[in-house]
A and B are shown apart, each in its own frame.
Chain A
Amino acid sequence: MNAIPEDVVDLIGKPCFPQVSDCQVEAGAIRSFAAAVEDGFPAFWTDEADNMLAPPALLSAWNRSLMWAPEGKGEGSGLALHFLLKRKLGLPRAVVAETETELADPIRPGVRVKCEQVLVDVGEPCTTRLGEGRYWTIRVEYRCAATGAFFGAETMRFFGYGREADT
């Protein structure tokens, strides 16, 4: 697993997998997350829709598809590029090592979020306590599906491991 496959190299720097969230941002989802992390920030709990904000930690969540839908089984993850890389690199297991996020316009109930994914880099083979593998970095930009307003971007560094022969 030394050389990076050409079709993976070709992905670097090219926006791909455009996607629009399968539902609108809504108060119930905001409150469920705020409850899960015990966050009492008033804008997550208000009954005034105009003053409600989505937790910044949910920036990427709106574009994770449902696990099931009437028209077909979903994947449960919005990061199609990440799963494509796992397949192409033969590294079926992966964990997130680091994320960096920037925020712009706030996300409020009623909007749909669209995103695009970009492969930033793929590292050389290396070994961690999880096993042999590689790091790779993906940047995802999130915008309002209706207006294009920039909500923010997330840059994630993954470690993929567990060669297919071992699984």
Chain B
Amino acid sequence: MNGAGEWFAPVKRKVSARDIVMGAAASRDWQRQHHDIAYARSMNLPDIIMNAPTQTGWFHAYAMDWAGPGGRIARWRLKMRRSICPGAEVVLSGKVDHVEANIDWPDVEWVWLGLVIDTGGERLSEMALLLARPRLATGDCWDIPTEKWCPPPLAR
């Protein structure tokens, strides 16, 4: 098991228009700034922009690839600082901010992550994420019943 201060391996991606349109469509989001460049520019935006669920999905995929199939997301805060547009070469990175025992379900620990998407030294988006992770590789946080699922606050 890893602890607070661990950094994740960065992942590089070049954002395509298809990434943006596909994510918006799959999240049933047909707001025009996510697929119509002329409309996006009329909003003073540089191009079509990635919507919040797609950014969230990118962060979640990155975090859960680390946490494993027994991990379970509890809370997150997404701050979108700059628009994510086609052509951007971005880097996802993140680290473990804090780890704490789960007193309601001792086989599981709470893990606070700090995740970011940057491009060329500029911060585009950031997520504070709280997830539950089993202490053993065979554990599964989805076994936690509703009455025992009591995530602590995001702020620590």
Binding site for B on A (CB under 8 A): 29, 32-43, 53, 55-58, 60-62, 64, 66-67, 76-77, 93, 95-106, 129-131, 149, 156, 162
Whether the pair A36, B54 counts as a contact (CB closer than 8 A) is yes
Residues of B within 8 A of A (CB): 19, 22-23, 25-31, 33, 43-44, 49, 51-54, 56-58, 60-61, 64-65, 69, 73-80, 142, 146, 149, 151, 154
A109 vs B154: C-alpha distance in the bound complex, in angstroms?
28
Interchain CB contact under 8 A, B60 and A97 = no
Q: Which 5 A-B pairs have the closest CB atoms?
A: A37-B57, A39-B61, A57-B56, A33-B26, A64-B28
Mind listing 25 A-B residue pairs with CB under 8 Å? A29-B26, A36-B57, A37-B58, A39-B57, A39-B60, A41-B61, A43-B142, A53-B142, A56-B56, A60-B27, A61-B26, A61-B53, A67-B30, A76-B28, A93-B44, A96-B51, A96-B52, A99-B77, A100-B77, A101-B76, A101-B77, A102-B75, A103-B73, A106-B142, A156-B52
Report B-chain residues with C-beta under 8 Å of the C-beta of A66. Answer: 28
| Contact in complex: A100, B76 (CB < 8 Å) | yes
Closest Cβ neighbor of B64 among chain A residues: A41
Residues of chain B with a CB closer than 8 A to A61's CB = 26-29, 53
CA A99 to CA B55, docked complex, whole Å = 11
Q: How many A-B residue pairs have CB under 8 A?
A: 123
Q: Which residues of B lie under 8 Å from residue A58 when comparing CB positions?
A: 27, 53
Closest A residue to B24 by CB, please name it.
Answer: A36
Docked-complex contact A37 and B64, CB < 8 angstroms:
no
Contacts A41-B61, A106-B142 known; A93 to B53 CB distance under 8 Å? no
Are B57 and A57 within 8 A (Cβ)? yes
Q: Name the CB-closest residue of A to B27.
A: A61
